[in-house]
């Protein structure tokens, strides 16, 4: 579910970039970055530490 939410947040960036000024987009992107960072650091990373088999392969490669 968190992966799907991340994709939706990324998709929202595209829609906002197309509809807003650069200044509005930059502000929106910054807030989306905070949300996505919190989702990973506060929720997903602790789960992956406890259950490494749940961590997607593409994230394991980035260590």
Q: Per-residue pLDDT tens for 4-23? A: 999 999 999 999 999 999 99
- Asked if residue 63 is part of any domain, the answer here is no
Q: For residue 38, what are the domain limits?
A: 2-58
What pLDDT, on the 0 to 100 scale, is given for residue 61?
Answer: 66
- Asked if residue 36 is part of any domain, the answer here is yes
- Asked if residue 14 is part of any domain, the answer here is yes
- Asked if residue 8 is part of any domain, the answer here is yes
Indicate the number of domains in the chain. Answer: 1
Cα of 49 vs its chain's centroid, Å: 18
- Asked if residue 54 is part of any domain, the answer here is yes
- Asked if residue 23 is part of any domain, the answer here is yes
What pLDDT, on the 0 to 100 scale, is given for residue 62?
Answer: 53
What pLDDT, on the 0 to 100 scale, is given for residue 43?
Answer: 94
How much helix, strand and coil, in percent to the nearest 5, is found in the chain?
85, 0, 15
- Asked if residue 48 is part of any domain, the answer here is yes
Note the pTM of the prediction, 2 decimals: 0.78
């Amino acid at each position: 579910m968190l992966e799907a939410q991340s994709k939706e947040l990324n998709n929202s960036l595209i829609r906002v970039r197309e509809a807003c000024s650069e200044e509005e987009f930059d502000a929106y992107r910054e807030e989306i970055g905070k949300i996505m960072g919190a989702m990973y650091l506060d929720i997903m990373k602790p789960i992956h530490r406890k259950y490494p088999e749940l961590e997607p392969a593409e994230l394991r490669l980035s260590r």
